Amino acid sequence: MSATQQEHEPVSLYLHAELLPNIRHITLYISVPAAVQSQNIQPEICLSGSRRAIIVSLQPPYEHVSDTIKLPARVTEASRRALSIAGRRTGDARDHGHGQHEYSFRMQIDNEDNSLPSREEYMDSFVPWTATDMTYSTRLRCRHCSNTLLDSCVSCDSGSGKKGIQGWIWKDLPSGNWAEMMDFWHCHKPDSHEGHDHDDINGVTAEDSNATVKGYGAANQVVATPGTILVDVATFLITEPDCSGLKQVEKKSMIASSTEVQTELLCENCDALIGVEDPVAKGWRLFKTGLSVSRQSAEGENEDPSWESHPMETVVAAQLLELIERENIRRFVLHCGEGNGLFIWVFNPDMRYSNSCSDHSITAQRAMKILFQDVTDVDEMLHPGRGKASSLSLEELQLPPGVLSAVSETLKRRNEMLPQSARVFREWKVGIMHRFDRSENV
């Protein structure tokens, strides 16, 4: 390449930093154009006075080229000297092709940095839209159009027989751990103490009656209630009469040894998939991924309401995190009831990263590091034939087709965002999935 060509070729830097909380280190990647490296031009790497940002610049004739990122946490003062030495070691840069040379090294986190949350805080508050986030006048609508699905209030029958107006009641459903504990208790509750008599009234023992009252009886199950919206990690459970603007369509699932028919709920206005019927709970489950929410109070009815929706990836991330906590499993098959899907490994459920992409914020983002592969036959992976080994450490997560497609595209786009050396791990591609952070959404 001639000097004239190099002068006209745009030169840019790329910076990427990842916080590894378990070992309290930040890994920093710096990519420099090969054309610059071939001229033995040394990058100048500086740590800001606050030790929370990195500034990288080039020497003449590229002195106009520089970039900055904010680090996910404050690093030690010793990192300043380490960065200065790294900037002079041009021979340490590795060539990963695509016209880029790359540096990577680690910096230790300052032990006195109180901005880092505790381990408990790292794993808590990952669920968007809990019951405590909602108000009596909260409304729901299709996120793809303006079709209202849940209005701001509900008519109810007061004790006097007159029709009144009552706001919605929002309740969080118990976690999957709670439901499993209740099943375990009912099936394996301890034997009664000897010498204790049990009353038997109409075939119902006092013990069974007490179990029903306390909530662990076999007859106890979650059922949709008029005027009340029950909230779990990914859905809202609501009764059919309380909801509007949806139509029911039957769909057959192609994943499983036996074909299952499920009733899907589509938006009457744009045909977007909004939820499914839940016969066991005697209600409709509306997907958070298909909704927008307005929490405007009744006093502001004449104002233009403010609607919010969460990125689909943060809702899926919450589902994965809940399964990790409950099942202690990190590998999942994501599918939408058809043949293909994604095989993912949640390599790091909680990380913070920042980079200097033009379409990305330079501030740290909270995310999960995901290893992923495309799967062409989900049924074979979930239900291997006779004589084939099946993985016990594998869970499935069925998603709406649009959500699965969005997650797949996000992982592949973030894979291209990563430094060249960090895009592949063995047979896996490496991606990043953002997770909800309640502390940043207060």
CATH number (domain holding residue 274) = 2.170.150
Residue 225 CA to residue 337 CA, distance in Å, equals 29
- Tell me whether residue 185 is in a domain: no
Instruction: Name the residue type at position 244.
Output: S
Do 159 and 240 fall into the same domain? yes
* Dihedral sign of CA atoms 194, 198, 204, 209 in order: negative
Same domain, 330 and 271: no
Give 45: exposed, middle or buried? Use CB within 10 Å, 0-12, 13-18, 19+.
Answer: buried
Upper half-sphere CA count for residue 304 (Cβ side, 13 Å): 1
CA-nearest of 361, 331, 335, 366 to 347 is 331
204: its two tokens: 């119902």
The neighbouring-strand residues paired with 104 are 29
Considering 300, 321, 343, which residue would you say is the last residue of a domain?
300
Same domain for 355 and 241?
no
Question: Beta partners for 140?
Answer: 150, 293
| 157-178: pLDDT as tens digits | 544 444 444 689 999 998 666 5
- Residues 90 and 227 occupy one common structural domain: no
Cα 376 to the center of its chain, rounded Å: 24
Q: Given this model, what pLDDT does residue 182 score?
A: 55
Co-location of 413 and 343 in the same domain: yes
Q: Are residues 62 and 100 in the same domain?
A: yes
CA distances from 363 to 71, 114, 375 (A): 7, 18, 34
273 - beta bridge partners? 266
Query: Using CA atoms, how far apart are residues 370 and 360, in angstroms rounded to an integer?
Result: 19
Alpha-carbon distance 320 to 314, whole Å? Answer: 10
pLDDT tens readout for residues 266-325? 999 999 999 999 999 999 999 999 999 998 764 545 556 789 999 999 999 999 999 999
106 half-sphere exposure, CB direction, 13 A CA radius: 9
Residue 39: per-residue pLDDT: 81
| Matching residue, tokens 């913070």 | 352
Residues in Cβ contact with 341 at an 8 Å cutoff, skipping those fewer than 6 apart: 333, 334, 335, 375, 378, 404
Highest mean pLDDT among 65-74, 105-114, 361-370, 407-416: 407-416
Same domain, 370 and 293: no
Same domain, residue pair 319 and 430:
yes
- Quick check: helix, strand or coil at residue 184? helix
- Are 370 and 346 spatial neighbours (Cβ–Cβ below 8 Å)? yes
Domain span holding position 147: 131-173+222-300
* DSSP state letter for 117: P
Q: Which amino acid would we find at residue 430?
A: V
Note whether 263 and 334 are same-domain residues: no
Same domain, 417 and 340: yes
User: Do 328 and 431 share a domain, yes or no?
Assistant: yes
Chain CA centroid to CA 194, Å: 51
Whether residue 81 is predicted with pLDDT greater than 50 in this model: the reply is: yes
CA distance 168 to 150: 10
What is the number of other CB atoms lying within 10 angstroms of the CB of residue 319? 21
Instruction: Tell me the pTM.
Output: 0.83
| Residue 169: strand, helix, or coil | strand
Q: Mark which of 238, 272, 300 sits at the end of a domain.
A: 300
Q: What is the pLDDT of residue 60?
A: 85
- The pLDDT tens digits for 176-201 are 665 555 555 556 555 544 555 445 54
pLDDT recorded at residue 251: 86
Residue 435 has pLDDT above 80, yes or no: yes
| Structural domain total, the chain | 3
Residues 324 and 389 reside in one and the same domain: yes
CATH number at residue 90: 2.60.40
Q: Within a domain: residue 24?
A: yes
